[in-house]
Chains A and B, each alone.
Chain A
Amino acid sequence: MTGKGSDGLVVDAEVRRGDFTLAVALAAPSGQVVGVLGPNGAGKSTLLSAVAGLTPVATGRITLAGGVMDDAGAGTFVEASERPVGFVFQNYRLFPHLTVAENVAFSPRARGMGRRAARTAASYWLDRLGLASLADRKPEQLSGGQAQRVALARALAGQPALLLLDEPLSALDAGTRLDVQAELKRHLADFTGPCLLVTHDPLEALVLADQLIVLEDGRIVQEGNPAQVARQPATDYVAKLVGLNLYPGRADGSRVTLTAGGSFVIPDQGQHGDVLAAVRPSAIVVSTQRPRSGSARNTWPAKVTGLTLLADRVRLDLDGQPPALVDVTPAAVADLSLSPGSQVWLSVKATELEVYPHTGRRPGQG
C-alpha cells in the first residue's frame, strides 16, 4: 500500500505503548474517510495518537502529502503542534474555561493569527456549522450534539490537511446520534483532505466511511469497502458486529468441513482450501421435525440455549454442529413452543451461504 496516495496520509509503522504494540500499514487518500473499526484495546486510539504526533512511532514512518511527519529510521519527528492535523477527541476536550467562540478561535490564534483575524475565522466556522447562536456559551452549557459540532468546528478552524475523529458519536445518546451522524457525514464530504474515523460501532463505520480498516489486537485483520466487509467478515468480531454467523472451514469443491463441527454443502464455486462461510441469522429455518434434506440444503440438529427478544423478532442461540444464531418471528417461537433446552432442526439453503477464501492475515503481513 505504501508508495501510492502520496497526496494523502500514509502510515507504515509500529507504535509501542507499554506491552502493547500496534503494527499497521495503511493509506488514506485525500477526500476519503477511512473508518478504523475494532474492539476496545485494539489500538485505534493509539493509531490516531501516533498520526497526531502525541505518540512517536517505534519503527517505520508516517507521511502526509508526501511530507515526513515521523520517521523512526531517520530520527525525524514533527511535533504535534506543527502538524496540520485537526483532532476531534472522544470526549471532545473542549476547554472548559473558554467560550465556544474562544474554543474555535484557539487554533487560528495558536497558529499565529491576530486576535481579530482569529475571531473572524472562528465566526466563519461557527456559522458554517450552525453554532453562531452558541458562540458565547461555555462548554458545560452545551448538549452532547452541540459539543460534538463545536469540537469539529474547533478542529476545522485550524485549516488542517488531515482530520482525525476518535469515536465522534460515542458520547451522544441514541436519540441525537442519528441526526448528528447525518450532519457529520455532510461536513466530512466537504473536507478535502484525508480523514481517519475511529469507531467501534459498525453502523457508524458503514454510514460514514468510504473505506474500512478493521483493527484487532494491534493488527489490521481486514480492509476493504464497507459493503464488502459487512458481507464477508474476516473475523468473528466483525461477523458479530454485522450480525452474521461465521464459520471457518476447509472447502473441497462443493462441500466445506467446518472447524466448529459438521459440514455444509455450498454452491459449487470450485473452492478449495481455507474458507469462511457467512450466513445471515434470518436465512436459517427452524423446525421441530427433521426436514427433507436435499442436495442444495443443509440440515442439522441443534438445541436451543437462549432466546433474546429483538425489536420485531426473537434471536435464538443454538448449540449444535455448528452452533448458530437464528432469527425467527415471535409467532414461530409460540407455534414451535421453543424454550431453552428444546431440540430442533436447522436448515439453510446452499445459496444462502457466502463462501470466500480465508486470507487469515497474520502479524507482519499488515
Chain B
Amino acid sequence: MATRTAPSRLTAQERARRAARGGTSRSVPAPLLAPALIAVAFLLLPLAGLLIRAPWGHMAAALSGSDATQALVLSLWTASVSTGVSLVIGVPLAWVLARTAFPGQRLLRALVTLPLVLPPVVGGVALLLAFSRVGLVGRYLDDWFGLTIPFTPLAVIMAETFVAMPFLIITVEGALRSADQGYEEAAATLGAKRMTVFRRVTVPLIAPSLGAGAVLCWARALGEFGATITFAGSFPGQTETMPIAVYYALETDPNAAIALSLVLLVVSVIVLVSLRDHWLRGSVS
C-alpha cells in the first residue's frame, strides 16, 4: 500500500519524544498556529513594553519622587489584613458550604461568590450604600459609636476583603469537597469531637489548598482598584493603594507610574511562582 505523501524525516530526538509521550506528530496545524501566536503576542507585548520603557537608570528616583513607598506599604498591609480576615471568616464559611446541607445552600453559595463576577466598582457602590454615614448599617455605627468607615484605611480593607475573599472561599470549599473524608471518620472513631477533627485533621489535610487560596486572595486584594477607589477614595497615605497610585501617577509622572507598575509586576510573578505547583500543574496533568 502506497503512502499518500513522502515519509517525513524523524530525528532521533523526535523519536525519543514521541516514544516517551506517545501519540503521533506533534506539529501544530497552521489554522491553529497563527491565532495562537497572535494571542501570545497580545498578552506579552504590553508587558514587554513595560519592561522596555522602564526608567532602569533612575528607578530609585522615579519611585521616591512619588508617594510610591507610602502606597506600597499601605497596599501590602491592607492586602495582608484582608487576607487574614478572609481566613478567619472565609474558611469557616467554606466548611459550612462544603460539609453541611440546608435549604437555600446553593443560593447562598451563588451569592457569596458573586463578587467574583461583579464589577468591583459596583461592589464599591454597594459598600458605600451599606456603610456610609447615611447607609444601611453605617448610620448606626455613626450614631452609636461615632465610627465613620468610608475613606479610611478600614474602608480599603473592607473593599479588598469584599472582592478577594470569594477566591479563598471557592478554593477551600473545592479542597474540602475533594478531601478524603475517611480521615475525618477515623479521627471520630479515635474520640475526636468535630472541632478537634477540623483543627487537627481537616485543616492540615487541605493546607496546600488553604495556602494557594490565601495567596490568590492576597494577590487579588493587592490589585484591587474599583471597589477601593469608590468606597475608600484616594487619600495619599490613607487610602491610596498601589493600583490607585499608578493610575494617578500616569497623568503627572509617567516614569513613576511605570516604576510602580514594575513593582506590582514583580509581586505578581512571585505570586505565580508560589502558586506554580498548586495551580499550574492541574493544566498539565
Please list the residues of chain A having a beta carbon within 8 angstroms of any beta carbon in chain B: 52-54, 79-83, 85-87, 89, 91, 93, 95-98, 106-107, 110-111, 154-155, 158
Chain A nearest CB, measured from B259 CB (Å)? 43
Q: Is B205 on the interface with A (CB-CB < 8 A)?
A: yes
Q: Which residues on the A side are within 8 Å of B271 (C-beta)? A: none
Q: How far is the CA of A82 from the CA of B189 in the complex (A)?
A: 8
Question: What class of interface size applies to chain B in its complex with A?
Answer: 10 to 19
In the assembly, what is the distance between CA of A65 and CA of B279, in Å? 52
A91 to B193 alpha-carbon distance, docked (Å): 22
**Contacting pair A106 B190 (CB below 8 A):** yes
In the complex where A97-B205, A97-B207, A106-B200 touch, is A89 in contact with B188 (Cβ < 8 A)? no
Given known A95-B201, A97-B204, contact A80–B189 (CB-CB < 8 A): yes
Q: How far is the CA of A154 from the CA of B183 in the complex (A)?
A: 13
In contact, B182 and A93 (Cβ under 8 angstroms): yes
Question: Does B35 belong to the interface (CB within 8 Å)?
Answer: no
List B contacts of A89 (CB < 8 A): 182, 185-186
The answer to whether residues A106 and B187 also contact, given A96-B205, A97-B205 and a CB cut-off of 8 A, is yes
B-side interface mostly: helix
**Roughly how many angstroms separate A269 CA and B187 CA in the complex, as a whole number?**
55
Give CA–CA (A97, B187) in the complex, Å: 13
Given A95-B201, A96-B205, A97-B204, check contact A110 B191 (CB 8 Å): yes
Q: Binary interface profile of B, 209-236, with partner A (CB < 8 Å = 1, else 0)?
A: 0000000000000000000000000000
Assess whether A95 is in contact with B183, with CB atoms less than 8 Å apart. yes
Q: How far does the alpha carbon of A80 sit from the alpha carbon of B194 in the complex, in Å?
A: 10
**Assembly CA distance A98 to B183 (angstroms):** 12
Contact assessment for A85 and B204 in the assembled complex, using a CB-CB cutoff below 8 Å: no
Shortest C-beta distance, A124 to chain B (Å), equals: 16
Set of chain B residues within 8 Å of A83, measured between Cβ atoms: 189
* Given A95-B201, A97-B204, A54-B185 contact (CB < 8 Å): yes
Rounded to whole Å, the gap between the CB of B142 and the closest CB of chain A is 47
List the B side residues contacting A86 at CB < 8 Å.
189
- Complex Cα distance, B183 from A82, in Å, reads 17
Q: Which residue of A lies closest to B189 (CB)?
A: A87
B191 contacts A87, C-beta separation under 8 Å: no
B192 close to A (CB within 8 Å): yes
- Check B186–A87 contact: CB distance below 8 A: yes
Q: Cβ of A96: which chain B residues have Cβ within 8 Å of it? A: 205
B193 to chain A: closest CB distance in Å? 5
Q: Which residues of B contact A (CB under 8 A)?
A: 182-183, 185-194, 196, 200-201, 204-205, 207
Write the chain A residue with the least CB distance to B204. Answer: A97
Known A80-B188, A82-B191, A106-B190; further 20 A-B contacts with Cβ < 8 A: A53-B188, A54-B189, A80-B189, A81-B188, A81-B189, A81-B190, A81-B191, A83-B189, A85-B189, A86-B189, A87-B189, A89-B185, A93-B186, A107-B191, A110-B187, A110-B190, A110-B191, A110-B192, A154-B190, A158-B191
Which residues of A are found within 8 Å of B182, using beta-carbon distances?
A: 89, 91, 93
| Chain A residues within an 8 Å CB radius of B193 | 81, 110
Per CB-CB distance, the 8 closest pairs between chain A and chain B, nearest first, are A110-B192, A107-B190, A93-B186, A87-B189, A111-B191, A80-B188, A110-B191, A97-B204
29 contacts between A and B (CB under 8 A): A54-B185, A80-B185, A80-B188, A80-B189, A81-B188, A81-B191, A81-B193, A81-B194, A83-B189, A85-B189, A87-B186, A87-B189, A89-B182, A93-B182, A93-B183, A95-B204, A95-B205, A96-B205, A97-B205, A97-B207, A98-B204, A106-B200, A107-B190, A107-B191, A110-B190, A110-B191, A110-B192, A110-B196, A158-B191
Measured CB to CB, the closest approach of chain A to B198, in angstroms, equals 12
| B189 contacts across to A, CB distance below 8 A | 52-54, 80-81, 83, 85-87, 155
Q: A16: shortest Cβ distance to chain B, in Å? A: 18
Contacts of A52 in B (CB 8 A): 189
Per the bound structure, the CA–CA distance linking A155 and B191 in Å amounts to 10
